[in-house]
């Protein structure tokens, strides 16, 4: 009817309110989920980096049909790495092992030493000296102290430093792609 204007009250428009209210609820839940998941994102990223390092480092010839990431001491990445176990990485089945002593490290290709084991890093690096094992850690200064790869946390992102001299002493050859992606390279050529 011309000239007549019907104004619907807030009470009379439950269906009109629902999409807006529903959208707001979904948005708030997504923000809450992201906030709750944030602490897990860096360990998940670090785990993915460790798995990918296996693809971008060349080890001396071996008849092994597995690649093994060893976790030293108090385990901080095991739950995240377990999601990768059994997958093929560089044509080899990925294994995850926990190690405590030099005797446990013979099957390791990559040895991860978490920052909470910082007091024992020097001893562990001596244990694997000259072995074809890639030492990696998220401990500050690890690469400068003779470690192979240091994972850096930077505002929710993970980067890495490569100590090319250490890798060379272990008989390992990092790919040129890995060297380009590193935030910093110590020794060797970039």
Domain with residue 174: its CATH number is 3.40.50.2300
Q: What is the pLDDT of residue 79?
A: 92
- Tell me if 3 is assigned to some domain: no
Whether 176 shows a pLDDT value over 80: the answer reads yes
Q: What is residue 149's three-state secondary structure? A: strand
Residue 35 has pLDDT above 90, yes or no: no
Q: How many domains does the chain have?
A: 1
Residue 9 lies in a domain: no
Write the pLDDT tens digit of every residue in 123-169.
999 999 989 999 999 999 999 999 999 999 888 789 999 999 999 99
- Return the closest-CA partner of residue 80 out of 112, 115, 118: 112
Q: How far apart are alpha carbons 188 and 52 in whole angstroms?
A: 21
Q: Predicted confidence band at 26 (pLDDT cuts at 50, 70, 90)?
A: very low
**pLDDT value for 3:** 52
Count Cα atoms within 13 angstroms, Cβ side, for 126. Answer: 4
């Amino acid at each position: 009817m011309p000239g007549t204007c019907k104004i619907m009250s807030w009470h009379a428009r439950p269906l009109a309110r629902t999409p807006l209210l529903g959208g707001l609820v979904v948005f708030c839940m997504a923000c809450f989920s992201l906030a709750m998941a944030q602490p897990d994102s860096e360990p998940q990223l670090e785990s993915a980096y460790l798995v990918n390092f296996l693809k971008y480092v060349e080890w001396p010839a071996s008849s092994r049909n597995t690649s093994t990431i060893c976790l030293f001491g108090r385990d901080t990445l095991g739950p995240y790495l377990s999601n990768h176990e059994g997958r093929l990485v560089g044509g080899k089945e990925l294994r995850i092992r926990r190690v405590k002593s030099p005797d446990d490290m013979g099957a390791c290709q990559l040895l991860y030493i978490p920052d909470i084991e910082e007091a024992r890093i020097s001893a562990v690096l001596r244990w694997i000296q000259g072995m074809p094992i890639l030492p990696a850690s998220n401990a500050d200064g690890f690469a400068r102290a003779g470690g192979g790869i240091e994972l850096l946390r930077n505002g929710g992102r993970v980067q890495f430093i490569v100590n090319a001299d250490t890798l060379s002493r272990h008989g390992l050859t990092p790919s040129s792609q890995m060297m380009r992606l590193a935030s910093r390279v110590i020794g060797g050529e970039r």
